[in-house]
Amino acid sequence: MPGTISRRKDAFSVFATVTALAALLFGVVAVYVAADNGDAAAPGTAVAAVAPVEVTLGDLFIEPGALAVPAGDVTLAVTNGGATAHDLTVEELGTATPSIDGGGSASLPLGELAAGDYTLFCSIPGHRAAGMEATMSVTGEGGTTPVAAPGGHTPGMDMSEMTDADRVEMDRVMTESVTAYPAETEGVGGADLEPTILADGTKQFDLTAEIVDWEVEPGKIVQAWTYNGTVPAPTIRLEIGDRVRVVLQNDLPISTDIHWHGIKVPFDQDGVAPLTQPFVEPGEEYVYEFTADHLAVGMYHPHNRGFEAVPNGLLGAIIVGDLPMPGGVVPDHELSMVLNDAGTIGFALNGKSFPATAPIVAKEGETVLVHYMNEGLTAHPMHLHRNDQLVVAKDGFPLDSPYRADTVNVAPGERYSVLVTAEEKGTWAWHCHILTHAERDTGMFGMVTTMIVE
C-alpha cells in the first residue's frame, strides 16, 4: 500500500533471531552471576549494574545531601519534587539531565565510575549558590547508602560534629554579610524613562535591547540582557489616554520582540513573534504604537525566547495611571520591586542581590506604595517585618476589599500592589521567605532588603 513498507521474514530468519537473542541474554546473565560470586570480569566484559540511585531535587536543595554508592555501572533516577525547573549535573563528569519541570523525572546514566567523590548540583544560575549541591561517594563496596542530614538542617549539613569554633565562625560570617549592607555597586535599574513628546502629543519611548556588564552584587559582574543598559529596564509611566510610541532597537545576538504583560493593546501590538508580528532581527528597529486606555500595573519583556532573555534581565515595569487608595490616601513614595531567581541575574530584587539591594527609606508615618512584579521562575512569599502590608491591587486591578498581610506570595507573572505605612523607627528586614532565596553558607544574600523608618 502507498506510504507503507512491507517486510517478510521466513521461518529460518525468525529462528536465527530468537537464538541470537537467547545467547545474548545467557551471556549477560553469566557476567552478572560471575560478578555476584566475586569473580573479576575479564577486560571488555560488562560491569555489574548498580540499582538506580534515587535523587530528589527540591526548592532549593538536593536529597540526599550526601550518599555512598558501590562501584559499578551507576544510573541516577532523578525526580524534581520542587515547584520550578531544575537539572542535576555531575561536575567531574560534565554530564547532566535536561531541565526537569516540577513533578517530572529523568534518568542520568553515568557508566562505570571509579572510586572517589563526585559533586552533584543544579546548574541553573543561582540555584547552586542557594544550596542545590550534594556529594556522591563511590566506595567500591556495599549498597547504596544515603547519608541523611539531621532533622531540621539543610540537607548535607551534619550538625553532630559542630564545635564552638564552628559556631563562632558561622556567626562571624553572618555578621559580616549583614554589616556590608547596603553595599555600593555599579548601575541602578528601574528609573523613570522620560519620553519625547511628538507634534501630535504622542509620547515616544526609545529602547535598545543589548547585553552589558552588570554588577549584581559587589564584585560579581554578569552579562545581563537589558533595555537601555539597566536591570530592571527603565520604568515607563503613562496616563490613561496617552498615545504611545515605543521604538525598539535590537542590538542582541538573537531575534526579539516586546510583550506588554498586563497592558491591553491591539492584537498586532501584543509582541508575540511570529504570531502578531515579524521577528525583530539583530540590528533591526521596530515600532509599537497603542493608546493607554485603562489603569494598569504591567511589565514589559520579550516573548520570543523569554525563557532565556527574561531571567537574564530583559524586563521592565510599565504603569498606567494611579491606583485608587483606601481613604483617598496619596502615597508619599511609589516604587516597583521586581523579583528574579534565575539566569545570569539569579536571586535578586530590582536586579541586585543582597547586600547590594537598595533599602526603602521613609519617615515615621509616611506611606509607601510597592508594586511586586515577579519575573522569576518560582513563587516568592515576600515578608516584611513589623510593618503591615495592605494589599490594594492584584495584577493592576484595585481590590474592592483591601486586606492586611505580613507575607504576600507572588507567583511568576503576578503583580501585587501593597501600601505600607512606616509604623516604627528601625531597620526592618524585607525578604523572600523561601529561606534559601535569602541565606546561604556565606550569610545573607539574594532576595533581601530592608525598610528603614527614620
* Cis preceding linkage at 198, omega within 30: no
Q: Closest Cα partner for 125 from 225, 208, 53, 259?
A: 225
Q: Using the structure block, give the residue that is written with the C-alpha cell 566475586.
A: 38
C-alpha span between 420 and 430 (Å, rounded): 12
Rounded Cα distance between 415 and 396, Å, is: 7
**pLDDT of 82:** 77
Count CB atoms within 10 A of the CB of residue 18.
10
Nearest to 350 by CA among 178, 210, 209, 233: 233
Residue 130's pLDDT is 66
Distance between CA atoms of residues 350 and 116, nearest Å: 42
* Distance (Å, whole) CA 306 – CA 299: 13
Q: 87, 96 in Cβ contact below 8 A?
A: yes
Model confidence, pTM? 0.73
Counting Cα atoms < 13 Å in the Cβ hemisphere of 153 gives 14
Check if the beta carbon of residue 339 is closer than 8 Å to that of residue 373.
yes
How far is the C-alpha of 416 from the C-alpha of 421, rounded, in Å?
Answer: 16
Task: Note every long-range contact of 321-326, with CB atoms under 8 Å and residues 24 or more positions apart, other chains counting.
Answer: 321/238, 321/239, 321/240, 321/292, 321/294, 321/295, 321/296, 322/295, 323/295, 323/297, 323/369, 323/392, 323/393, 323/396, 323/398, 323/417, 324/398, 325/369, 325/392, 325/419, 326/390, 326/392, 326/402, 326/419
Q: Which residues are registered as beta bridge partners of 340?
A: 348
DSSP character at residue 242: -
Instruction: Tell me the Ramachandran region of residue 285: left when phi exceeds 0, alpha when psi lies from -120 to 50, beta otherwise.
Output: beta
Sequence letter at residue 77 = A
Predicted local confidence at residue 23, as pLDDT: 41
Question: What is the model's pLDDT at position 115?
Answer: 87
Q: Going residue by residue through the chain, which has 454 residues, state the pLDDT in tens, using 9 for 90 and above.
A: 434 333 333 433 433 443 443 443 333 333 333 334 433 344 444 445 678 899 999 877 898 888 888 888 899 999 998 767 889 999 999 999 998 987 899 999 999 888 899 999 998 866 786 678 999 999 865 445 544 433 334 444 556 677 888 889 899 989 999 999 999 999 999 999 999 999 999 999 999 999 999 999 999 999 999 999 999 999 999 999 999 999 999 999 999 999 999 999 999 999 999 999 999 999 999 999 999 999 999 999 999 999 999 999 999 999 999 999 999 999 999 999 999 999 999 999 999 999 999 999 999 999 999 999 999 999 999 999 999 999 999 999 999 999 999 999 999 999 999 999 999 999 999 999 999 899 988 899 999 999 999 9
